[in-house]
A and B are shown apart, each in its own frame.
Chain A
Amino acid sequence: MMMNQQHARERAVRGAALLVAALLAVTPRAEAQVRGTIVGPGAARQAIAVSPLQTNGMPPREGERFADILGKDLELSGLFRVVDRAAYLEDPQTSGVTTGTIDFRDWSTIGAQALVKGKLERDGDQLVVELRLFDVVEGRQLGGKRYRAKSGELRRIAHRFADEIMLLVTGERGPFDSRIAFVSRTEGRFKELVMMSLDGGDLRALTKERSIVLSPSWSGGVRSLLFTSFRRGNPSLYRLTLGAPAPTLVSARDGLNLGGHASPGGRAIAVALERRGNTDIALIDPDGKLIHFVTHGRAIDVSPSWSPDGRRLAFCSDRGGGPQIYTVDARGGEPKRVTFKGGYNTSPTWSPKGDRLAYASRVQGRFQIFTTDLPGRDVVQVTQTGDNEDPSWSPDGRYLVFSSTRDGPRGIYLSDVSGRHQRRLTAPGGDDSSPTWSRRLD
């Protein structure tokens, strides 16, 4: 039964190898031009050494594995370049992990500006992981944390400390302790829901619909997802609660029940419903009961996305002729057009801080990811090649994930909001689309 998952995992592993190859080819970039809330990623990257952890009786391999996971997150952040472990001079098992016991010259010699050291210990059935970030040049500690967790949660500790390092360095916590759900083609044809960490780890199949699954969206934190499935013929809206035996039906009205998005407070779901052959944006309650229709009329209205304060919705409509982005009061009222450039703008998604929208726009026949402020003056193009669709923001608002065909069949990609730092997240050879980035796990 787990053949798909295993296959997907193998693909992820191949993807990781490819990622490293790509990184080695990267040339240093000119200093970034930073503005607005765009902080850090994409600017000149800092050289950081991530020492394997001291393992104190546990296999040294565990300490290396931890450093691998943390190092990959730091590379993905776009803030750091991890110094190759082969260059490290000291023995991680016998050297010190605190300021007075580290010879920082050994690290500055190999070009490291920052250093992560730590130790891993077993305490009964738990693991204790102690981690510190050092400024190599000044020879001082910048921060440290101690984590206590079940032994299966080592990967999560690495993600959490990556977030901690980003907090220390940029003043804002990173996005790595989170999950990305997306649609993945299996058995050559079915579209199913899959979930992974940003580094491609923790990959897990979520549905077994043997049908077409569309438009997943996290609801209620990281415990459940809304999605549309054709499992019983009609494209109906379902909710999958992680750990529950099966998805439950939310809305099975005749025709499309599409793109369900839970409101920030959780009391309403915005969804595109079909009325007499035409789709309008509606609000339904968590059990699927209609609250009210937000949009009306003869135009196609799809892809609703909530503002973080829960007051407005962004959506795509052809009311002006072609598909364009609008916002509207969630209680109803006159929609306000946001996009004016380009003949096909769609899939809007509101940033976590509420200041920008990301969307897909057709440029010379291909779809590219853009962001815009509101009301739509400061437009930034994020992607340049292939067809790029379905953007989703990171919990900290500094990154986007989306699908792209730039290297062949659709895969999931990461970019910082400026577009300078882009990486493939899923392995080549799959057909992966419609990513949705969760909040942080806590």
Chain B
Amino acid sequence: MARTIRLATAATVPFVVPLVVLGLVLSGCVKKPTALDDGAPYDAASAGTAPGSGLGADGASDTNPESSLERYRRGLAPDEGGILKDVPFGYDSYELNAAGRDILAANAAWLNENPGTRTEIEGHSDDRGTIEYNLALGARRAKAAKDYLVSLGIAPDRLSTISYGEELPLCRDSNESCYGRNRRVHFIPPGP
């Protein structure tokens, strides 16, 4: 019977404190475990808002119904293109390329011919990379598109931006053509 118990072996745990023989440490005063509340999740429609937040108390979104987010809530895929075309980007990049600048020039021309309209610029990414970094990347892409349109004479107050990062993809395949489609700036249909 050479085998001995090795619950904290010196060989594997070099500096562990020697196992203290605790004997009977049955105590009658063990702290009562903290009870966790067992309530059901709130109902989204009745959820409150912080005072002074400037948001409606009805919990409704003020997002355009044709935005990628509102389409997603209704179970619809995001739109691709439209009156204003999508702008493509390279991997992990928010630089506008020549094709992107041409598309933005055409979009600027349409916006110039239709004064009084506004649009929201959505920044999207592919799903490589982490969720938070991709949201920041989408924000930079939307900003790059907005800055270029402003440089072409579009009033900044006609253009708002939002980033969805990798959350609302056009496709879910793991190949370069799908990644490329998802790395985009999309414009929701302009309106008053």
Residues of chain A whose beta carbon lies under 8 Å from any beta carbon of chain B: 1-2, 31-32, 34, 39-40, 43-44, 46, 113-114, 130, 135-138, 140-150, 153, 156-157, 160, 168-171, 177, 179, 189, 191, 202, 204-212, 214-215, 222, 230-235, 242-243, 245-250, 252, 255-256, 258-259, 272, 274, 276-279, 288, 300-303, 316, 322-323, 344, 346-347, 360, 362, 365, 367, 389-390, 433-434, 441-442
A113 to B62, CA, bound (A): 63
Chain B residues near A214: list those with CB within 8 A.
Answer: 131-132, 135, 167
The answer to whether A40 touches B39, judged by C-beta atoms less than 8 angstroms apart, is no
The answer to whether A441 touches B33, judged by C-beta atoms less than 8 angstroms apart, is yes
Cross-chain pairs A/B with CB under 8 angstroms, 24 sampled: A32-B12, A135-B5, A137-B3, A137-B5, A143-B22, A144-B24, A146-B30, A214-B135, A215-B132, A232-B55, A232-B63, A233-B162, A245-B47, A245-B48, A249-B50, A256-B135, A256-B136, A258-B132, A272-B132, A274-B136, A278-B139, A302-B133, A347-B130, A389-B130
Chain B residues near A156: list those with CB within 8 A.
Answer: 33
State whether the Cβ of B41 lies closer than 8 Å to any Cβ in chain A: yes
Chain A residues near B136: list those with CB within 8 A.
Answer: 256, 258, 272, 274, 278-279, 300-302
The answer to whether B42 touches A245, judged by C-beta atoms less than 8 angstroms apart, is yes
The answer to whether A169 touches B73, judged by C-beta atoms less than 8 angstroms apart, is no
Q: Which of B127-156 contact A (CB under 8 A)?
A: 128-133, 135-137, 139-140, 142-144, 146-147
State whether the Cβ of B40 lies closer than 8 Å to any Cβ in chain A: yes
State whether the Cβ of B98 lies closer than 8 Å to any Cβ in chain A: no
Which 4 pairs from chain A and chain B are nearest by CB? A277-B143, A243-B37, A233-B63, A246-B47
Given known contacts A149-B33, A246-B42, A442-B31, is B133 in contact with A211 (CB within 8 Å)?
no
Given known contacts A211-B73, A441-B33, is B140 in contact with A171 (CB within 8 Å)?
no
Chain B residues near A157: list those with CB within 8 A.
Answer: 33
CB distance from A42 to the nearest CB of B (A): 9
Chain B residues near A243: list those with CB within 8 A.
Answer: 37, 39
Chain A residues near B48: list those with CB within 8 A.
Answer: 245-246, 248
Given known contacts A138-B5, A256-B135, A367-B130, is B162 in contact with A242 (CB within 8 Å)?
no
